[in-house]
Amino acid sequence: MSDIAALKKEKQELIEKMLDMQKQFIAYEHENGVTGKDYWASSEGLLSTYRHEYAEMATRVVDLAHEIVGSHR
């Protein structure tokens, strides 16, 4: 597998994981409701690491996209 193919594969896997996280978040929100405090300061359950993990993955997806096409931020 070429470097570009490996980067594209990693990017796709991250996108799929992010979509799954979004589905879990929506289901949680529908079942429990989510306040701003829950979203920003939750210390347990799904929301405790959601924002941080999702943001890290989103940043990596952007970095991968730039690397694939040879551009810079």
**Number of other CB atoms surrounding residue 31 within 10 Å:** 8
List, for residues 32-42, the tens digit of each pLDDT value.
Answer: 999 999 889 89
**Neighbouring residues of 68: CB distance < 8 A, sequence distance ≥ 6:** 4, 7, 8, 11
Q: Which DSSP letter does residue 2 get?
A: -
Q: CA 15: distance to chain centroid?
A: 7
List, for residues 1-31, the tens digit of each pLDDT value.
Answer: 679 999 999 999 999 999 999 999 999 999 9
The domain spans of the chain are 3-69
